[in-house]
Structure formats: C-alpha cells, structure tokens
Structure 1
C-alpha cells in the first residue's frame, strides 16, 4: 500500500508555532497533519518515512522526510528551499506520496557561492548540517546555516543511481565530493609566485636595517662598527715614510692618498655580490671578538703558577769541601795523636 494525498503547501516561516522554525527551515523534513499519521500507521509504512513531493502547477518534484505531524488539516509546511525547488507559491497544491529510496553511498556537491571557501572546516559543517536531512535529490539546491550566514549547495550527483534520482542518507556511510563553487576562478599560481617574490624582494631591499637604521642595527651600534671596519681596512700596515733612492723625502703631492669612505652615505641596497670565504669561516657583518672562557683562563693561570714553583729547594754540597759530621763519636782517638810507623825497620842480629 502507498500513501497518496494532496495538501496545500506553505513555508515553515508561516507556521503558528515558532519554536522550531529556524532549525527546520535549514533541513529536508516537512510538517504534516495528524490525519496523515493515522493513515500511515494503518498502511504499516516502514521507517524511516520517505516521501515524494510533486507540484501540481509546475510538475517538478523532490524528496523529503517528515519531522512532525503538527500541521493544520489540509496543510503541509515545507522549507523555503524546497518550495523554490518545486517552483511553488504558498497555498499551491502538492501531491505527497510515500517513496522507497536506496541507501546512498556517494554525493557530489557544488556550492553556489565562493563564500563557502571561507569555512575553515567544511566537512564538519556539512556533517552537522546533514543531520537535518533525510534524503538528497539530484539538481536540488539545499540551504544550510553556519555562523548566521546561509549557504546554498546544489546536488550534482548521487550514487547509487535510480529512477527517482534520490538517495536516503539515514544510517549510511556517505562519501562526499566537492565541485568548484559557482564563480570560482582558478588562480594563476605562477603569477602569484612571481608577485610574491617581487614583493618580498622589494621589502627586503627597503629594510632600514640594511642601511644601519633598523632596531637591531641601533642595538649593536652598526654605524660605529662599520666605521671601525673601514678604518682598519684603509689603515696601512706600514706607517713609515718612503724615501727616494736619491735620498730625498717624498713630497705631499707624491704620496698616495687612500680614499676615505663616509659610512653615513653608504647604500647597501644595490645588487648582492657573492661572498667567497675559505672553508670553516663565517661572515656576520661586523667584527667578532673571540670568546674567552673564564674557566679556561683560570686553569691557564694555575698551570703557569705551578710551573713557576720550585720543586726542590735543598742546598748541594761538594764531597771535597764537605764539613765534618758534628755527631762523630769522639771516643775514638784521633789519627794525628798516634805515632807514625817508621819508614825502615832495623832488626838487631846480636
């Protein structure tokens, strides 16, 4: 059995009960009277209840679900975008029949404005908005509300395909694809890249830090450092005076004058020249003082002091001029006191 009846259609904004107007107007469900619920229960219609809505004046049709059975008898209330889809005016006669739509697996959407691209997470917005829809039909332009702004989205394609050109999106995994929004023009990425590089180069060349006027240049006193570097570069390694072979001194006119560069008039905005340095060297743009570790300096000082210490401070003695030991045993008689043995011993033979 099929439910088939005629109603006068009106937009949801004309409902006497204003409690759910805003949410229902951005969805895909309609309001029917109590008599429709009684007929549906008698026909044992399976859930979810899906309907085909056809305009008697334009002949256009779409699909929807039902939200509540609270409308007046003989009336049905539709979202405004649904009235625009079937091209019906308030009070027009529409035919509503039960329908059986397949479970959808794919839908392709086309935003009707480039403003849709400003949404940071369109997938999450659509997932939340699709909870108010039961069906999707090809060529319908639905409306969703996000951040107090209305976005219109056209249904370009649905799968699986059927004669009704619609799908049911209740309790199904729906794959979503987006077409470029209406009015969207693909940008010229090559030109955008060139313009960005040009603007970046102009900004870098106009940087006041290159001329010693930036905040960092003031912090490190770049002008004075540059002057010191110029003086060191222009200062001669030999400051003596030259003398001719004839013995005469060189006059002031004959001396080679070294040009003096004024650092205030330097312009570093010209083309960059390659800086070729030996391996292991870095150029920072100003004089660098070598880092000295206080711990290493203390160790060096201690090592120098240790090297100056005298390890042996004793006094050497010669063996020939050595002094007699004071603790000699005086009980032994001195050798000088003993009588010397005669050089010749005479033996008397008598």
Structure 2
C-alpha cells in the first residue's frame, strides 16, 4: 500500500513571494508553490503524475484541491492564489494541511459567473478553455478568478461530474463539457407582443409624393377637358335606341396630394424606382369638323388582285363589251 504525502505548511498569498521567484499570473490559476524538500518526499513515495493535493483548514473544516506549479517556496511555506486564501478563510501565516489525493478525471462542469459583466465577453467558452490550462482541479463551491482583458471575473463551480467523495475533478488531459448558469444579478428580459395598429380607412383619395412629382392634379384637369374625337350616336342591330354613355364625374376637390404616401408592397427581391412618365400625344386634328365631301375616303379592291383601282372613273371601260348570251364573265 503506497504511503501518502501529508505535511503542514504555513500559507501565504502569491503576492508575498520574493521577487526572484514570483509569477504574476499565478494568482489567476489553480496551482500552488511548495518547497523543494516536498518534491524529494513525493519522489520517494512514488507519487504518480499529475500530483494533486488536498488543502485543508482544520480550524474551519474547509478544503479545496489544487495542483503544484513549482517547488521553489521557502522551507515550511506554501504559496496560494488569493482566491484559495478566500475559499479556505485563512490569513497569511495560517497553518494548512497538505495531502496528496487521486482526483477523478472530469467529464462535466457547471459554472456560474459572479457578475453580469461576464456577458460582455464575446466568446466565453473559448476564454474559459484558455483559462483552464492554468488549473489542475475544479472543486464544487470554489469561486475561481479569471483575468481577461485586464478585468477580473469571479466564477463559481456549481456542479462537477463524475461525482465523488472529493466533490472535485481533474481537468488535465481530459475532454470537459462546460455548462453556464445565468450570472449573478442577471434578470431575464421580458418580451411583450406589440399589437399592430391598423390604419383607419380614409374617406378621401389621398395621393402621396408620386402625385406631386407627376403633377397629377393638372393631368386630371386636362383629361376632363379633352375634346371628343367622334360625334354622333350609336345604333343597335335590333333597332332600339342606344343609351348615351355618361362621363365619369371626377371631383378634383376630393384629391389630396399633401397626405402620406401609401405603403407599397412588393415581392421579395423586387425593387421599385417609380413609374415612367409618358406624356399623352396631342392630336392636331382634334376639334375639326369632318367635311361632307370626304366622309369616306380610301381605295377600292378588286377580286382579281391584278390591278388596284385608284379611282372609280379610271376603272370604267371606254367601250362596253358585248358578250353573247351563252357566255358569262365574272369580274
């Protein structure tokens, strides 16, 4: 049965390490500094890698787990990150019991950020993956500290799997699934459905900005004043008198061109750049009375289709042809 490493050390925060061996980023990790004689004892006991330790405050009965970063501390001392000092409720110079333990490899961890500022990180999973490289273990109810972009974030460990008596897992060389709980102080936004107000139907013909651009009022007035091209009355084959067609009365006073533009609904992917303005063609002969001598004009057509009659007099033959009664000629 292998023997266990079990020693008592006085604990100090990393900030109190001598400048020659001090590491600034060690405060935001999960590893401790032990003296060189601890390495000799661990080697003699054949403690296998990774070397994981249980840190116990017997006075408060508080514990956590960690790895070791270096064996450079002074004899009888152990240096801890500040968040470990807070977790164990110890002061500089307090006595800690350090024991090596075999912590199971982790498969799952659920964490809870201690501030809503953690939501400002664009990719928290990538940041956490990079930060966990400085940790060897994660223990339930520990509040670790993460330094990202010169901002310190507190993260509490809520749950770990697989479950064990240690309530801790090893995060070295393992595939770890991570779940995030809502940050402390986070309030879920309340979304309310907004009722769309239907526009009230207008009693007048309201024209928008397009009416201004094409001068619709003057076009409507000009259309009402057009001269009729054909005069007379229509006749029915039945002999009944045709009813005259009434003109549509256009009340120009009801046209309002100062209103808002009506919504233009187009299918997806179609753009609208306005209607083309095509001015009407003006007929110069409009308004002239047709002369009685030229009511019907045109050219006649022959069934022979060999010669086109330009005039009725030209088609008359100078001498009448005499035919025998037995011969019939059809023009």
Partner of 1:6: 8
Shift of 1:117: 1.2
Give the match's secondary structure for 2:194: helix
Shift of 1:286: 4.4
Distance (whole Å) between structure 2 residues aligned to residue 126 and residue 18 of structure 1: 29
Which aligned pairs between 1:89-128 and structure 2 lie closer than 5 A? 89-128=91-130
Indicate the structure with greater helix content: 1
Asked whether the 8 Å contact 1:51–1:97 carries over to 2, the reply is yes
- Which deviations, in whole Å up to 9, do the C-alpha atoms of 1:133-170 show, x marking residues without a partner? 00011111111111111111111111111111111111
Number of equivalenced pairs? 245
- Are 1:259 and 2:261 counterparts? no
Shift of 1:230: 3.0
Give the match's secondary structure for 1:194: coil
Partner of 2:189: 187
Shift of 1:238: 3.3
Distance (whole Å) between structure 2 residues aligned to residue 72 and residue 51 of structure 1: 18
Asked whether the 8 Å contact 1:229–1:287 carries over to 2, the reply is no
The TM-score with structure 2 as length reference comes to 0.66
Select the structure of larger CA radius of gyration: 1
Distance (whole Å) between structure 1 residues aligned to residue 227 and residue 163 of structure 2: 100
Partner of 2:220: 233
Asked whether the 8 Å contact 2:26–2:81 carries over to 1, the reply is yes
Partner of 1:15: 17
Shift of 1:274: 8.7
Runs of 4+ in 1 over 4 A off after TM superposition: 260-263, 272-275, 282-286
The TM-score with structure 1 as length reference comes to 0.63
Partner of 1:64: 66
Partner of 2:243: none
Partner of 1:155: 157
Give the match's secondary structure for 2:223: coil
Tell me: CA distance 1:65–1:194, structure 2 relative to 1, closer, same or farther (3 Å): same
Asked whether the 8 Å contact 1:12–1:77 carries over to 2, the reply is yes
Distance (whole Å) between structure 2 residues aligned to residue 44 and residue 284 of structure 1: 81
Asked whether the 8 Å contact 2:53–2:100 carries over to 1, the reply is yes
Partner of 1:322: none
